Amino acid sequence: MSRQTSRAVHAADLSLTERRNPRTADIDLASAAEIVDLMAAEDALVPAAVATQRDAIARAIDIAVTTFREGGRLFYTGAGTSGRLGVLDASECPPTFGTDPEMVQGLIAGGPAALTRAQEGAEDRPEDGARDLDARGLSARDFVVGIAASAATPYVRGALARARAAGARTALVANSPPSEELGRDIDVAIVPVVGPEVVTGSTRLKSGTATKLVLNMITTGAMIRLGKTYGNLMVDLQATNAKLRSRSERMVAAVCGVSRDEARELLDAAGGAVKVAIVMHALGIGRDEAVQRLAAAGGSVRRVVPGPPPSTG
């Protein structure tokens, strides 16, 4: 076999995320500013790659909505950067959308310790992916999203196979096309192909950025469809700190056309719930009735108070 043929075969065996990037072959000779330019140019390719997955991401959003309405949960499962991104997205849902922490969960190979320090070898055990889902009481009502830049991580493969066996819905977020075998275990494949990384194999770069964008879309899209926003206002946020309490007051003041002091009083009467305060003010009703109206409308303010919220400027 010639050297040229050998190189071609070797490249074919590599996932797209493991191939060398010819545009950054001399990056070790670059100045700091040139490194910024090279990385920025590569990062600029990411949004277009994600946009090619529009239909698949929309399908994942629909599955997530159905899952939540049926009382199921969304599990992200991954190793290394992929796992950390899943845990990050899951952990942001309660403060942003007022969800129960059980509703969206992130599982990472190696457990919580892997969030801050690499757990070498943890991703190589498919049985751990299955075990971690079993420990959370996986059921057919759940939705399991595997995250693996290479589409080959054993931990993720094990989790998806276990999910399929349990009758759960499944999806894969990857940056290389999955194998035919793995494809049989997934309902939706989301594969934004961003090409070789700036530093070969460092999938925390373009692959990680693409993954973050996709996960943002899945959970945010699902929460919007569930009525967690009013227009583009996050009216189900949990005011757990001074910043969020201030944001809640500003939101109520702007939507209801009242002063900050009046907004604070409304929120107190509504038990701190922005959605309830808005409905109380708009319809001139008490807290209990506002809660009942929202429940009957599936939590959507728009279905209780017709029309869009006023512009907040």
pLDDT in tens, 153-172: 999 999 999 999 999 999 99
Q: Could you identify the residue written with the tokens 């959003």?
A: 61
Q: How many CB atoms lie within 10 A of CB 126?
A: 18
Alpha helices in 190-230 (DSSP H): 206-225
**How many CA atoms lie less than 13 Å away from 170 in the CB half-sphere?**
26
The domain made up of 48-225 has a fold known as: Rossmann fold (3.40.50)
Mind listing the pLDDT tens digit for each residue in 187-244? 999 999 999 999 999 999 999 999 999 999 999 999 999 999 999 999 998 777 888 8
The domain made up of 242-304 has a fold known as: Helicase, Ruva Protein; domain 3 (1.10.8)
Domain ranges of the chain: 48-225, 242-304
- The residues pairing with 181 across neighbouring beta strands, listed in sequence order, are none
Active site residues: 92, 123
Helix 32-43 to helix 206-225 angle (10° resolution) is: 40
pLDDT band at 14; cut points 50, 70, 90: low
